[in-house]
């Protein structure tokens, strides 16, 4: 699968938000989307999936424009994990994950044993089978985030789109979410697009990075090339220092904010 956005432009009324956005992501690749608050990161995700209509440009899957595909066709290939903050639902984890099969059910159809098996596989893959009977309204933020990822995976998609999947989580749960996304991409061949506030997270798992700026322009390329000190200073109005270090034979990169500019 190759997913592309070509010349994507969007605005509300006469106010431009996104200008000529272009990127591609394929099987086993992770693309991180970064930028300051209010630049349109969530808007970009909604436009690229067809939830909002581009003013100009297009999103394509293997060269086919999403606007020419039925919603059912799109959601069989793409799964969306929205922000979980503020979510309080009375469904159990098993019920929530089973909802992810809706794109593969006919109108008024009830989930089959095959659908239930797919939901169980998704919970096992993400490691939330122990939460199967727990209500989402009683879960921690990290638990709920992993259940939402399992719900997306139960649809057996080719690409995951995740909106700030690690926000509002503690260090441990942030790492669990990041490691899960990376494992799904590397081992399962799933493409992933992640909206994040953390440049260090993008450097940790992303193959590509897309930086959105306040003027609506964007910059995309290999993560280690795009996420440099100069580009982040320009986009975020913050001086940063990128530090490289080795720990137990592995290389890590840390992004340290120094001062506003």
Q: Render pLDDT for 241-257 as a digit per residue (tens, 0 to 9).
A: 999 999 999 888 999 99
Q: What percent of the chain has pLDDT over 90?
A: 72
pLDDT band at 107 (very low <50, low <70, confident <90, very high): low
Q: What pTM was computed for the model?
A: 0.91
Using DSSP, state whether 100 is helix, strand or coil.
helix
C-beta separation of 45 from 52 below 8 A: no
The H helix count followed by the E strand count for the chain is: 9, 12
- The span from the CA of 39 to the CA of 18, in Å, is 8
Span 40-99, pLDDT tens digits: 999 999 999 999 999 999 999 999 999 999 988 999 899 999 887 655 578 999 999 999
pLDDT band at 178 (very low <50, low <70, confident <90, very high): very high
In what helix (H) or strand (E) does residue 156 lie, and over which residues does it extend?
A: none
pLDDT for the residue numbered 168:
81
Q: Is beta strand 78-81 parallel, antiparallel or unpaired with respect to 64-65?
A: unpaired
pLDDT for the residue numbered 106:
60
CA distances to 32, 119, 186, 238, 259 from 96, in Å = 26, 9, 26, 40, 43
**Alpha helices per DSSP H over 32-112:** 41-48, 71-77, 93-98
pLDDT for the residue numbered 240:
95
Mean pLDDT of the chain: 92
Instruction: Show the beta-strand stretches assigned E in the chain.
Output: 2-12, 15-26, 30-34, 56-61, 64-65, 78-81, 159-163, 191-195, 208-212, 218-222, 238-247, 250-260
The correct CATH number of 2-260 out of 1.10.3720.10, 3.40.640.10, 3.30.1600.10, 3.40.50.300 is: 3.40.50.300
Residue 108 has pLDDT above 70, yes or no: no
CA distances to 130, 146, 162 from 102, in Å = 23, 19, 19
């Amino acid at each position: 699968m190759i997913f592309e956005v070509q010349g994507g432009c969007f605005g509300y009324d006469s106010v431009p938000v996104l200008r000529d956005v272009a990127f591609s992501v394929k099987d086993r690749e992770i693309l991180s989307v970064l930028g300051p608050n209010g630049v349109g990161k969530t808007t970009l995700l909604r436009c690229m999936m067809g939830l909002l209509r581009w003013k100009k440009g297009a999103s394509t899957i293997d060269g086919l424009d999403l606007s020419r595909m039925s919603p059912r066709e799109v959601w069989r290939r793409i799964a969306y994990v929205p922000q979980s903050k503020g979510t309080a639902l009375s469904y159990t984890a098993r019920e929530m994950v089973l909802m992810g099969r809706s794109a593969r059910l006919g109108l008024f159809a009830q989930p089959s044993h095959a659908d239930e098996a797919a939901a169980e596989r998704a919970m096992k893959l993400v490691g939330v089978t122990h939460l199967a009977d727990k209500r989402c309204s009683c879960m921690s933020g990290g638990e709920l985030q992993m259940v939402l990822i399992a719900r997306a995976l139960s649809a057996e998609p080719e690409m995951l789109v995740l909106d700030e999947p690690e926000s509002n989580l503690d260090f441990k749960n942030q790492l669990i979410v990041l490691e899960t996304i990376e494992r799904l991409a590397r081992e399962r061949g799933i493409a992933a697009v992640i909206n994040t506030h953390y440049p260090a997270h993008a450097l940790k798992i992303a193959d590509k990075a897309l930086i959105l700026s306040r003027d609506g322009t964007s910059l995309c390329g290999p993560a280690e090339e795009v996420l440099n000190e100069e580009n982040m200073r320009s986009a975020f109005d913050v001086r940063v220092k990128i530090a490289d270090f080795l720990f137990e034979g592995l290389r890590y990169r840390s992004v340290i904010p120094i001062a506003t500019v």
